[in-house]
Chain A
Amino acid sequence: MAMLEVRNISKSFGSNKVLKDISFNVEKGEVLAIIGPSGSGKSTLLRCINQLERADGGTIKVCGLDMLVKNERGKTVYAPPDKLREIRLKIGLVFQNFNLFPHMNVLRNVTEAPIRVLKQKKSSAEGYAMKLLSQMGLYDKSEAYPCELSGGQQQRVSIARALALDPEMLFFDEPTSALDPELTGEILKVIRKLADDGMTMVIVTHEMAFARDVADHVIFMENGVIADEGTPEQLFGANASERTKQFLQRY
């Protein structure tokens, strides 16, 4: 069963058509990398699936649950709020600039949602959070505040925070773009580990070597459409389309 089924998604900001007829699937355990020039609609696509933006048309199915459907009259409508909530919990999102809660220490950043949203007991939420933080190599940072951490550490906290809700799928929107080059490695290592553990992921990235290495499938987006897609071998290989080759030359 596909974990994510996106069909003919469209989205405009005013007269600016940002997404035009985007369709793709993500299977369980699959890692999808999305590449493409800035402004091509990659973030908007992730945000539409995460309900941070409303798509104008198309359908979206998450773990078999209808999130965005066409009703009998052909209108695109969202599922009812409680259903949307259930669906949202299935997808974790990691932002480019972390968006940690600055007034909470690392541990509370990770436990806040499990305690408030999933109504977990504080002790069990903290136990799980410490386990995740250890996996991220941050066991000794649980009491620190975000402002006391490096960008790489902050991003690892935000990954732990997303994982704390036990999502079925994890989305990354340029997780290393806000980091100093020497810090990107630690984040890529964490994501690769998640991939090895079988996590289903959608990763928007400009790290081409990483995308090639870790992704099962790659989508090249341009001007709101999927300009090219395929396995990493296809997209990064000699037989890729001229346009793809041209884009990749910059990296």
Chain B
Amino acid sequence: MTGEEIKKVVEILLQYLVPTLKVFGFTLLYSIPLGMIVALLKMSKIKPISWITNLYILVMRGTPLMLQVIVAYYAIPMLKQSEGLPSFMQNLLASVDIKSDSFMFNAVIVAFTLNYAAYFAEIFRGGIESIPKGQYEAAAALSMTKTQTFFHIILPQVIKRVVPASSNEIITLVKDTSLANVVAYAEITMKAKQQMQLHSSLVPLFIAGAFYFAMAMILTVISSIVEKKLNYYK
């Protein structure tokens, strides 16, 4: 490939960095709070809630994300074709426009969010359970409410404890965004593959790889800064 061609490929791939970052950003935005909720549900004293939540976590972590993306993308079109559904469901399904641009994106985000929420939930649960009972008791003895205790005493300590494991997960997510191309979601990996075929050259793939590598490095640096910042106490 000529220098000129390479420059062109870089420009194209840079453009498709945006959809990649969109999957990354929106997945984080939704899966972190959802992960927190799932963690709390799994720790629920009401056994059926805890069991169902655990089943969800097991399925999400025990099956490939790629498969989950495919299911999320094809489930609604398939259901639309099926007969004998209750009418309210038919109406609901009819309201989804599967031809729209946003449908594919939404399906990808749903699958990624549900998957990552399961991983984050396990990290958060470990963090919450590692906080000594004495912290709850001290807060209770000071007449703090359960909500105050959770948000001001427990959660800040949990955050410190889960940052290392969460950073790993977030770095994995950068690379996992490439799985979205399984439903033809146009992002870097997919474009790199097309450019590879177009130019009969591996260079586009290496360029894509360099992009992922750069993003992972940036996140690694950020996570070590955050870890340092949280190191003001033991």
Are A103 and B141 in contact (CB-based, < 8 A)? no
**Separation of A93 and B143 alpha carbons in the complex (Å):** 11
Q: Which residue of A lies closest to B137 (CB)?
A: A52
When distances are taken between beta carbons in the complex, the residues of chain A under 8 Å from B138 are 95, 99-101, 158
Among A28-36, A112-120, A193-201, A204-212, the one that faces the other chain is A112-120
When distances are taken between beta carbons in the complex, the residues of chain A under 8 Å from B143 are 85, 88-89, 113, 117, 165
Are A146 and B233 in contact (CB-based, < 8 A)? yes
Q: Which residue of A lies closest to B134 (CB)?
A: A99
A101/B135 contact (C-beta < 8 A), A89-B143, A113-B142, A116-B144 known: yes
Among B77-85, B151-159, B184-192, the one that faces the other chain is B151-159
Tally of chain A residues near chain B (CB < 8 A): 26
**Separation of A226 and B193 alpha carbons in the complex (Å):** 81
Tally of chain B residues near chain A (CB < 8 A): 19
When distances are taken between beta carbons in the complex, the residues of chain B under 8 Å from A102 are 157, 233-234
**Separation of A158 and B137 alpha carbons in the complex (Å):** 13
Interface presence of A51 (CB below 8 A):
yes
Are A145 and B152 in contact (CB-based, < 8 A)? no
Are A117 and B144 in contact (CB-based, < 8 A)? yes
Are A112 and B152 in contact (CB-based, < 8 A)? yes
Are B140 and A52 in contact (CB-based, < 8 A)? yes
Q: Which residue of A lies closest to B151 (CB)?
A: A116
**Separation of A120 and B142 alpha carbons in the complex (Å):** 14
Are B141 and A92 in contact (CB-based, < 8 A)? yes
**Separation of A99 and B134 alpha carbons in the complex (Å):** 6
Are B233 and A117 in contact (CB-based, < 8 A)? no
When distances are taken between beta carbons in the complex, the residues of chain A under 8 Å from B142 are 112-113, 117, 161-162, 165
Are A93 and B153 in contact (CB-based, < 8 A)? no
Q: List 12 A-B contacts (CB under 8 A).
A: A52-B137, A52-B140, A88-B141, A88-B143, A95-B138, A99-B134, A102-B157, A103-B156, A103-B157, A146-B233, A147-B233, A162-B141
Instruction: Give B contacts to A, CB under 8 Å.
Output: 132, 134-135, 137-138, 140-144, 148, 152-153, 156-157, 160, 232-234
| Contacts A113-B142, A117-B143, A117-B144 known; 19 new A-B pairs at CB < 8 A | A52-B137, A85-B143, A92-B141, A101-B135, A101-B153, A102-B157, A102-B233, A102-B234, A103-B156, A103-B157, A103-B160, A103-B233, A116-B148, A117-B142, A145-B232, A147-B233, A147-B234, A161-B142, A162-B141
